Amino acid sequence: MSTSFDVLVLGAGPGGYVTAIRSAQLGLKTAIVEREHLGGICLNWGCIPTKALLRSAEVYRNMEHAESYGLSAGKPGFDLQKIVERSKGVSKQLVGGIGMLLKKNKVTVLEGEGQLAGGGKLSFKGNDGKAETLTAKHIIVATGARARTLPGLEPDGKLVWTYREALRPDVMPKSLLVVGSGAIGIEFASFYATFGADVTVVEVMDRVLPVEDAEISKLAEKSFRKQGLNIRTGTKVAKLDRHDNSVTVTLEKNGKTETVTVDRVISAVGVVGNIENIGLEKTKVKTDRGCIVADEFSRTDEPGVYAIGDVAGPPMLAHKAEHEGVICVEKIAGVEGVHPLNKAQIPGCTYCHPQVASIGMTEDRAREAGRDVRIGRFPFVGNGKAIALGEPEGLIKTIFDTKTGELLGAHMIGAEVTELIQGFIVAMGLETTEEELMHTVFPHPTLSEMMHESVLDAYGRAIHF
């Protein structure tokens, strides 16, 4: 086996494997090092398996409301282990596909652990126990991130879960407390509540989904409460008392405390970059708040060493990692016209019920930036396709610069908005103005018509509401 490469990628998550494939496509001799699973956390423990679980929840929810569609199917039931096995099967299929893609593109896959050794070298120890030194002109660190833990809230795998245990439960808890109302926490809260768990969500900020537009967060919280979730904002977990098969949680708000006893706790308080045990101390690479410091083309302070994806800082999203990696390796290869990633135009999606999706500035942020804005809104209840689907709950919100017509942000809550958001992503990428959007023909009947109406509403021209 060759030990010398043009490009070495450390970590085979979404950012890593995409970068390696693009590198090989550009004619660079490429290898990728992965200690556990191709696809990383995203495909094995994150993005993909959670969506498989949430799809089961969606189908179950529809079965519960079959009568409203004129259907009868008896009382729905579920088999938790079969739901989990389906989720695992989806991941396994995709991981196998990554292996074939890497092989097709002639990327050398090295199974084991790697550590930067300085001077373009990587110390590699294979899972078979063999050790050797690899060399490369360019080493790209894509080691990803792991669940953040807070003092006193350390997961134990039985009573206090991270996303790993929450993905593969052995029993459906009767009661559950989720700490953190970001995308991970809310998605798990939505899943478990659908299957009958009594779910409490604790958020230290003053609203759920705190990175989203405040108006969207408010609508989301209203919907979650309607579904039976107990939402506790402006609240922190002061203490956990673990028993044989339950946890007593002390909650604190405005100096007052109370206790809640639940079967399980899910800690979803964010993630932190995997910067340990990868040899950074042998290089000039700098870190900040648990992440590697890199410039707009992913270059670190160590010549020939780069960092992409979650380990390089927020937003910690798979699609950001993939695009960042492609930019990095194209810059290395000397591809003309390579532009830095515009992090202000990275979309976010939360696959709870109802779904939430967004891109660009929130209304508050736009006003804080001194922008004179026009706001457009269109509710799902005014859309024929939404009514026909039985999904009348939701809102499309658009934010424009009054002076230039620039689309500053788009924020959505409702059915399939994680698919709809791409329309505004493309519009922002092409620097589309409000006039061009208003003159775009949207097909009827579709949910996408609400996007058009929201733009029209920003300029006082909405038709159907």
Give the catalytic positions in this structure. Answer: 444
3-state secondary structure 329-391: HHHHHCCCCCCCCCHHHCCEEECCCCCEEEEECCHHHHHHCCCCEEEEEEEHHHCHHHHHHCC
Angle between helices 47-64 and 183-194 (to 10 degrees): 40
Residues in the chain: 465
> What Å distances lie between residue 421 and 33, 104, 461, CA to CA?
34, 32, 22
User: Are the beta carbons of 271 and 256 closer than 8 angstroms?
Assistant: no
For the chain, how far is it from start to end, CA to CA, in angstroms? 66
Query: Is the C-alpha dihedral spanning 314, 317, 320, 321 positive or negative?
Result: positive
Query: In this structure, are strands 264-267 and 160-161 parallel, antiparallel, or unpaired?
Result: parallel
φ and ψ at residue 201, rounded to 5 degrees: -110, 125
φ and ψ at residue 77, rounded to 5 degrees: -135, 175
What lies within 8 Å, CB to CB, of 283 at 6+ separation is 116, 118, 300, 302, 305
Q: What is the DSSP string of 163-176?
A: HHHHHS-SS--SEE
Burial of 410 (0-12, 13-18, 19+ CB in 10 A): buried
